């Protein structure tokens, strides 16, 4: 099998890249180790930055998002029993975010790819990326019970942290930067209308809580828990009771709506960056190159930034013969990646209470939140970062 761009992984990054390349008249093949139902059902991110929304619309896959997604003009911060709303459009010149689950983004992209795009092979396990240093890299994969080879001009690894793409970068050339946090998020989905029309980030003595949503009838919520927590140890009533405590404010009119919990799981918290994001004709994108704690809602959006950068670079190479943008892919992406890592780290350390936190640490967190909610410059920095760094 032969193609211009071999894409390993059919998450939102790989699928969006295939769509961008198709629209530009560049052929690709997408290899995905899981089956289609798994890809369309795995719960991940749900907040799309303004730039991601714009890219999906421009790629021709934004119609359902615009019908069913929930535009948000801000978030609410809660601390010290106080409430403060951050108004995104007022601080950013009109930018906002969209609540639209990754599962739905993938469904839209899969439907478009199968309708008129290049090959999208499910249950096609990538075994290795070979020859990245040559002008004919290839991907060995297993599909339908037999091994095959995909010969490419370029390979883009969108196969996540545990995939094979990053392993093809020689260890001697790799640099990794990592921080593991001593807590995780216990997350639930519940069949109940959200208790607030925007996301609520709460910092308290008992730890962090986040009130979010997936639709007008489905609540998504999170609690900070120890990293080794088993979700099964928490009863549904226990989760709602703890959310009530952590979201409590001096407002007699606000109430937390409860409903049947349909799923619960624990998400670990870590920051990770692999440099470089390019080796020869192998390009890393998304979780294959970087991971952020979910506090800043950056994971999916960073992946979108990566594949937009690659698509623009390859189109420029084809149209002008100039490979500068391809050659600088890693540096271009990493500037955005590290800004997202900075923001996600700042949000995480400002809102979560570490197990060994001292009274001094608590006061510093409250001082940071007080500064954020009383100084327009600080609030603007948060709003600009949350709604998205330029693509």
Nearest to 336 by CA among 298, 383, 287: 298
Catalytic status, residue 298: yes
Catalytic status, residue 196: no
Catalytic status, residue 272: no
Find the catalytic residue in 100, 181, 201, 222.
201
By the 8 A CB rule, do 84 and 366 touch? no
Find the catalytic residue in 107, 264, 279, 298.
298
Nearest to 294 by CA among 24, 26, 43, 81: 43
Find the catalytic residue in 274, 294, 329, 352.
294
Find the catalytic residue in 22, 72, 107, 290.
72
Q: Whole-angstrom Cα distance, residue 339 to residue 317? A: 27
Q: Whole-angstrom Cα distance, residue 92 to residue 384? A: 6
Give the burial string for 142-157 (b: 16+ CB within 10 Å, else e). Answer: ebeeeeeebebbbbbb
Q: Measured in Å, how far apart are the chain's first and last C-alpha atoms?
A: 33
Catalytic status, residue 72: yes
By the 8 A CB rule, do 194 and 219 touch? yes
Q: Which two tokens stand for residue 275?
A: 């440099």
Residue 189's contacts (CB-CB under 8 Å, 6 or more residues apart) are 43, 214, 218, 219, 220, 261, 262, 263, 264
C-alpha distances (whole Å) from 102 to each of 39, 40, 48, 301 are 10, 8, 9, 10
Catalytic status, residue 264: no
Residues annotated as part of the active site:
72, 201, 294, 298, 386
């Amino acid at each position: 099998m032969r193609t211009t761009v071999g894409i390993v992984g059919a998450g939102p990054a790989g699928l969006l890249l295939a769509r961008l390349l198709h629209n530009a008249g560049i052929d690709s093949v997408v290899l995905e180790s899981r089956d289609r139902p798994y890809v369309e059902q795995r719960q991940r991110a749900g907040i799309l930055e303004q730039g991601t929304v714009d890219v999906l619309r421009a790629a021709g896959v934004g119609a359902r998002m615009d019908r069913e997604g929930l535009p948000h003009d801000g978030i609410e911060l809660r601390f010290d029993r106080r409430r403060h709303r951050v108004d995104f459009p007022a601080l950013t010149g009109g930018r906002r975010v969209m609540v639209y689950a990754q599962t739905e983004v993938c469904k839209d992209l899969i439907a478009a790819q199968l309708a008129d795009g290049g090959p999208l092979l499910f249950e096609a396990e990538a075994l290795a990326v070979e020859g990245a240093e040559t002008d004919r890299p290839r991907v060995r994969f297993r599909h339908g019970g037999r091994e095959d080879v995909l010969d490419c001009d370029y390979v883009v690894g969108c196969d996540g942290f545990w995939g094979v793409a990053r392993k093809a970068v020689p260890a001697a050339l790799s640099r990794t930067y990592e921080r593991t946090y001593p807590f995780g998020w216990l997350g639930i989905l519940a069949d109940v209308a959200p208790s607030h029309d925007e996301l609520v980030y709460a910092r308290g003595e008992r730890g962090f809580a986040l009130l979010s949503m997936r639709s007008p009838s489905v609540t998504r919520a999170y609690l900070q828990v120890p990293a080794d927590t088993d979700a099964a140890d928490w009863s549904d009533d226990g989760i709602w009771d703890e959310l009530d405590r952590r979201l409590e404010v001096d407002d007699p009119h606000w109430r937390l709506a409860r409903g049947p919990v349909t799923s619960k799981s624990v998400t670990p918290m870590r920051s990770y960056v692999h440099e470089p994001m390019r080796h020869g004709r192998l390009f890393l994108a998304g979780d294959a190159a970087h991971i952020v704690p979910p506090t800043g809602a950056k994971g999916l959006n960073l992946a979108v930034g990566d594949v937009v950068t690659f698509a623009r670079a390859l189109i420029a190479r084809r149209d002008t013969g100039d490979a500068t943008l391809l050659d600088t892919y890693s540096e271009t992406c990493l500037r955005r990646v590290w800004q997202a890592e900075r923001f996600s780290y700042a949000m995480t350390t400002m809102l979560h209470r570490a197990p060994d936190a001292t009274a001094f640490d608590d006061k510093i967190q409250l001082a940071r939140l007080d500064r954020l909610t009383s100084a327009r410059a600080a609030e603007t920095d948060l709003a600009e970062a949350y709604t998205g760094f330029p693509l």
